[in-house]
Amino acid sequence: MIAYGPHPSQVVDLHGPADAPVRVTLLHGGYWRERYDRTYLLPLARTLAGLGARVALAEYRRVGGGGGWPETFDDVAQVVGPASATRHVLVGHSAGGHLALWAAARMPGVDHVVAVAPVADLARARELALSDGAVDELLGGRYRPEADPVRLPAPTAAVTLVHGTADTDVPVELSRRYARAVPGAVLRELDGVDHFDPVTPGTEACGTVLEAVGCAP
C-alpha cells in the first residue's frame, strides 16, 4: 500500500509485476459513500495481476469521510495521473465507473476506460433518486454538469461499458443513455446479469470484463 496524500483514504494497493505492459487503475463503487471501500474489488485486482497486469486498486475520499465535491474528484485525478509509455486501462465499477468515465473525459493519461455498471448519467440518476439521493450527497445538494461524464466532451480514450440488464442497483438505462450520447462508446449488455457478477472472478460476466480490459485468460 502506498499513500498519495495525507488522508487515510488517499492510498493505493499495488498488485502484479512492476514492468507489466498494461497498467490498470481500478476504482470501486458504493455510491461514493464512506461505508463502502475498495476491499470488495480485491479478488478482481488479484485476477488481473495474475493475468499479467500492474494493478493499482485505489481508495479515495468518500461522502461521510472527507469526500464529495470536489475532494473525491481531486483524488481520482491524482490516482489516474499523467500519461505514460505503458498502456493504461482505467476500470471502474458502479460509482467507480462514473469516476472512471469522468477522469477519461478530463485527463489525457488513459488509453481505454472500461466502465462496469457505471452511474454514467448523473442527471438521470438524480432524477431517479438512486440510492436515496446519493448524487445530491456527492455534489453538495445541486447538480453540477462538470461532474457528469455524459455532459463532458467525449474521451479521447476508447470507451467500453459493460452492464447487466438485471442490475437493480444501477439501471442499465444509464449506460444506454451514455452510449447514445457519446460517439464511439461501446456498450456490452449482459442479459440477465446483476450488479456484482461482472466484477466477480469466475463468472461468465467477469470474463467479459477481462476481455474488455485486454487481460482475458
Per-residue pLDDT tens digits for 17-41: 999 999 999 999 999 999 999 999 9
Can you tell me the distance from the alpha carbon of 204 to that of 103, in angstroms, rounded to the nearest whole number?
28
**What pLDDT is attached to residue 215?**
86
Regarding predicted confidence, which is higher, 217 or 11? 11
**What pLDDT is attached to residue 109?**
83
- What is the arithmetic mean of pLDDT over 31-52? 97
Banded model confidence at residue 101, pLDDT cuts 50, 70, 90: very high
- What is the arithmetic mean of pLDDT over 194-201? 98
**What pLDDT is attached to residue 216?**
78
CATH number at residue 68: 3.40.50.1820
Structural domain tally of the chain? 1
User: Residue 84 pLDDT > 80, yes or no?
Assistant: no
- What is the arithmetic mean of pLDDT over 59-68? 98
**What pLDDT is attached to residue 200?**
98
**What pLDDT is attached to residue 62?**
98
C-beta atoms surrounding 184 within 10 Å: 11
Flag the least confident range among 5-19, 24-38, 80-94, 201-215: 80-94
Percent of the chain at pLDDT > 90 equals: 94
Can you tell me the distance from the alpha carbon of 178 to that of 2, in angstroms, rounded to the nearest whole number?
34
Q: Residue 98 sits in which domain range?
A: 2-213
**What pLDDT is attached to residue 182?**
96
- pTM, two decimals, is 0.97
**What pLDDT is attached to residue 208?**
97
- What is the arithmetic mean of pLDDT over 146-157? 96
- What is the arithmetic mean of pLDDT over 145-166? 97
* Listed residue (124, 215, 110) closest to 178, CA to CA: 124
DSSP of the chain: -EESSSSTT-EEEEES-TT-SEEEEEE--STTBTT--GGGGHHHHHHHHHTT-EEEEE----BTTT-STTHHHHHHHHHH-S--SSEEEEEEETHHHHHHHHHHHH-S--SEEEEES----HHHHHHTTHHHHHHHHHHTTS--GGG-GGGSPPPSSEEEEEEETT-SSS-HHHHHHHHHHSTT-EEEEETT--SSGGGSTTSHHHHHHHHHHT---
Task: Calculate the average pLDDT of the chain.
Answer: 96
Banded model confidence at residue 86, pLDDT cuts 50, 70, 90: confident
- What is the arithmetic mean of pLDDT over 84-98? 93
